[in-house]
Amino acid sequence: MEAIVKASESKRIHPQKFTLWVAMGSIIMMFAGLTSAYIVKKNQSSWLEFDLPVVFGYSTAVILISSITIHLAAKSFKAREMARYRTLITVTAVLGLLFMGMQVMGFIDLEARNIALTGAKSNSAASFLLVITGLHMLHVLGGVIAILVIFIKAYSSRIKNYSSLPIDMIGTYWHFVDILWVYLFIFYNWIG
């Protein structure tokens, strides 16, 4: 009887993981609504067509590389290779910050090409790009903050917790924001 109870308990999803999945589902719905509104608004005659900043392509490569580094960090943590784990989690955080910096550079590039993102001279095309990409950047920032929390714990000599739950959850979330950006990048270039 005890073995049956333990087997059924091991098949349950951790409550924090369940909450993460619900949150990611909500985020998906939000971005689905925004990209749907983008498509509807695009059919208006005042819609401004413009090329995305080239730096958005480079930032896509950066975020995909960060997905690899966080995966390797999780593997290193589970193998108790703490020096490698610390290095990889550091690289992931830096890549996340680099991604956000490159996004800002893209917005600066648009402004330099006289494509106003906000204000009286703005067009809804550029404003949509700013809102959708800006919201994604906020979600990446949340991931970077979570990574920095486990980064601090990784370098703390007092805390010796070998639960892989935090890195698993952050890894799941990080892969999610990576996939979300790839979707948005494809959407901006070929769908929207």
At what angle are helices 82-112 and 124-155 packed, to 10 degrees?
A: 160
Q: Measured in whole angstroms, how far is the alpha carbon of residue 188 from the centre of its chain?
A: 17
Contacts of 105 (CB under 8 A, 6+ apart): 53, 55
**pTM, full prediction:** 0.86
Q: Rounded to whole angstroms, how far apart are CA atoms 15 and 6? A: 17
pLDDT at position 158 is: 65
pLDDT at position 118 is: 85
Q: Rounded to whole angstroms, how far apart are CA atoms 147 and 23? A: 18
Sign of CA pseudo-dihedral 72, 76, 81, 86 = positive
Locate 175 and state its tokens: 């892969």
pLDDT at position 103 is: 96
Q: Which helix (H) or strand (E) holds 169?
A: helix 165-186
The segments of the chain whose pLDDT lies below 70 read 1-10, 157-161, 192
- Provide the 10 A C-beta neighbour count for residue 24: 17
Delineate the domains of the chain, giving CATH numbers in brackets: 53-191 (1.20.120.80)
Q: Measured in whole angstroms, how far is the alpha carbon of residue 38 from the centre of its chain?
A: 20
